[in-house]
Chain A
Amino acid sequence: MNKIMIIILACAAANYLLRVLPFFISAGDNIPAYFKRFLDYMPVVALGALIFPGIITSFPQNPAAGIAGVAAAAMAAWFFEGLILPVFASIGVTWFMLQYL
């Protein structure tokens, strides 16, 4: 089995365990407030770490193309709902910069 299939199966097992355990053990009644906040802030923190420096390292030959793409996505997301438009805006801008600049 290749590495990607192992990762997919391990992630599936981990995700299922997180979801199924509370159905069989009574948990979640007395979760400390600190831990609740920890869970609350985690997704936003993760997004920050996921965007930088990944966007720079993904385009070693032309980092500006990646950054311009993210800027276009941010603008699209600011004015419109949904995820598809920002993604297409970013692909368009990055593609243009890789082709012509």
Chain B
Amino acid sequence: MQTRTRSPFINDSAEGVKSGVPIFLGYFTTSVAFGLLAVSAGLTPFEAVFFSMSNLTGAAQFMAINLISAGAAAGEIIISVVLLNLRYFIMSASLARKLGFKRAYRKLLTAFGVTDEVFSVASLKPGRVSGSFMLGLQGISWLGWGAGTLAGVTAGSFLPRSLQDAMSGALFALFTALLVPEIKKSFRPVILAGAAAGLNTLLYYKFQISAGWSIVISMISVTAIGAAIFTDNEEENQVERVEAENE
């Protein structure tokens, strides 16, 4: 007798895609901005889209664009990106425990698409999370990030010269827009971000350190001091919050 139930693969990946639609929308709009800025920073449309499709990382891509247009060396850029994305290591560790995949190809595939948003959705999903669900969830997120970048570079190539000049400031607007919600939550980010801004400005102007290295030094030293001073966990970090909700 023929059953009419769909295979678990179709079922689970469709469910993953459905859970990923909000991520798709968020990624699409953000990566439109990335595409616009990447073109104004001098990347070709192919490079911009390839950057998004191969890296699938948010703020670090914007930071890399900023450093590329500041003429930073490759080493400075890569170290900054790794520092900013160290959190993926913790997220992957937490997710690997939750998923409990046995097969290597599942691990290799899922690891590629670990992002803050994917991590939250997968970790908070009750019960077992299958590889097919992850494939749907991460696939739609990846498409959103890539498609938005493509839309951004396409729009960017039609913009008049004067608007393109104004757009070199848009990257900083984006950083500001990422920072403001943190500042609304508590005062501590004002101190941390302010100290980093101050130190970076000092290193750049007073000590004539290149833009990339002065960012790296500012990031490490202010974070190291901040983590030593502010020892009370004012708010749990994302991994802890998600793990606490699971228990």
Contact = CB atoms under 8 A, between A and B. Distances in A.
A19 B107 CA distance: 10
B107 A20 contact: yes
Contacts of A87: 33, 170, 173-174, 177
A11 B50 CA distance: 12
B interface residue count range (under 10 / 10 to 19 / 20 to 34 / 35 or more): 35 or more
Interface string B61-101: 00110101010001001101111111111111111110001
Given A7-B74, A95-B163, A47 B179 contact: yes
Contacts, number: 284
For chain A, what secondary structure do more than half of its interface residues adopt (helix, strand, loop), or is it mixed? helix
B189 A54 contact: no
A101 interface: no
Contacts of B129: none
Interface string B25-39: 000011011000000
Given A22-B96, A45-B219, 18 more contacts: A7-B64, A10-B78, A11-B60, A12-B54, A15-B57, A23-B110, A28-B92, A28-B96, A46-B215, A47-B196, A48-B193, A48-B197, A52-B197, A69-B169, A70-B169, A86-B173, A87-B177, A91-B166
